[in-house]
Amino acid sequence: MENKKQIIEIADIFRDKRHDFLTENTLCAVQQKAMEDIIACRTSELGGHTLSCNHCGHKVQSYNSCRNRNCPKCQYIKRMQWVPSAKKFFVPVKVLSTVFRGILCRLLQESVFRKEIKLPDDTPDFQTIKAKCYAKKWVVYAEKPFASPDNLVRYLGNYTHRVAISNHRMVGYKDDKVTFSYRDNKAGGARKTMTLETMEFIRRFMQHVLPCGFSKIRYFGFMAICKRKTKLNLCYSLLPTPTYFSRLTGLLAMEVLQIISGKDPIICAKCKKGKLMVSPACNVLHIEPG
C-alpha cells in the first residue's frame, strides 16, 4: 500500500524495472539507497499511522516519508520554504553610491602610494583629489531587476532543493518507454515532451544522485555553523531595519501545504466537516524512517 498524488510517479518506474536495471548496471551505495528510498517513500514499508475523521469516522492511512534528498516527493516541501526579502533588497542605490565612492578612492590612494599612478603636476597630494571627489554627489546606475525577489528566490530554490525530475513532469509510462515534459529554452521556454527508453530514463536519473558528503549549499563567514550562534544575532542587532524570516519557518509539512495550496489537508475529504486526527489505537504502528 502507498499514498499517491500523481497518476505516474518515478517510484512506479523504479519499482517495475529495479531488478532489470540492476542486472545490467552497477550502482554505488548512495545511488542504491536513493532508489530504494524513492520506492519505499510513503508506503507501508516505512511504517505509518491511521488518520480518523472526528466527525464521520472516515479513516485514511498515512505513511512516512523517506526524507532522501534525491526523492521528488520529500524535496517539494523544502523547496517551498523561501526566505522572503524586503522590497528594498540588498542596499539602496544612494548607499551603494557612497560605498562605491569610498572603495574607489581607497584603491586609487593605494595605487598612488605604490607609485602605480602618477598625480598631475598641479596636484600636491591625493588628499586634494579625494576632497574634490567627496564634494560631489556620486550616482551609481543600478538597473531594476526583470523579476521580483520572490521569483528570484523561487528560481534558486528549484536548484538548491531540486531533484533530477519531479513527478508532476511525468506524462506517460507504457510500452517500456517514459514520456516527460521539459522546457526548451532555445524555443523561448516552450513546453515540450521527450520520450526515453525506461532503462535510459533510470540511468539519467541516477547520474543526478549526489555523492555522500556533497553539499549543495555551503555557508561561510557569519553564516557558518560554528559562527552562527554568536555572530548572526550580532548582525541582526546592528541592522537598522526589522529582520524578515520565512513565514514557513518551523511549520509542519501539513501547515506548509495548507499555506501554499490554500486548502486544509486535514479536513476530511468525505464529509468536508471534520478533521483528520491520529487514531490513538494506531500510534504504536508509527515507525520513524531510518
pLDDT over 70, % of the chain: 77
Task: Supply the pLDDT for residue 28.
Answer: 93
Whether residue 51 has pLDDT greater than 80 = yes
Report the predicted TM-score, pTM, of the whole model to 2 decimal places.
0.60
Task: Supply the pLDDT for residue 224.
Answer: 79
Whether residue 36 has pLDDT greater than 90 = yes
Task: Supply the pLDDT for residue 19.
Answer: 95
Task: Supply the pLDDT for residue 284.
Answer: 41
Residue 226's DSSP bridge partners are none
Mean pLDDT of 73-93: 61
Least confident of 60-64, 75-79, 167-171, 178-182: 75-79
Whether residue 202 has pLDDT greater than 90 = yes
Whether residue 282 has pLDDT greater than 60 = no
* Contact by Cβ (8 Å): 38, 72: yes
Mean pLDDT of 256-261: 72
Identity of the residue numbered 31: Q
DSSP per position, the chain: -B---SSS-HHHHHHHHHHHHHHH----HHHHHHHHHHHHTTBGGG-EEEEEETTT--EEEEE-----TT-TTHHHHHHH-PPP--SS-S--HHHHHHHHHHHHHHHHHHHHHTTSSPPPTT--SHHHHHHHHHHS------PPPSS-HHHHHHHHHHHHS--S--GGGEEEEETTEEEEEEEEGGGTSEEEEEEEEHHHHHHHHHHTPPPTT--S----GGGSHHHIIIIIHHHHHH-SSPPP--TTTT--HHHHHHHHHSS-TTB-TTTSSSBEEE-GGGGGG-----
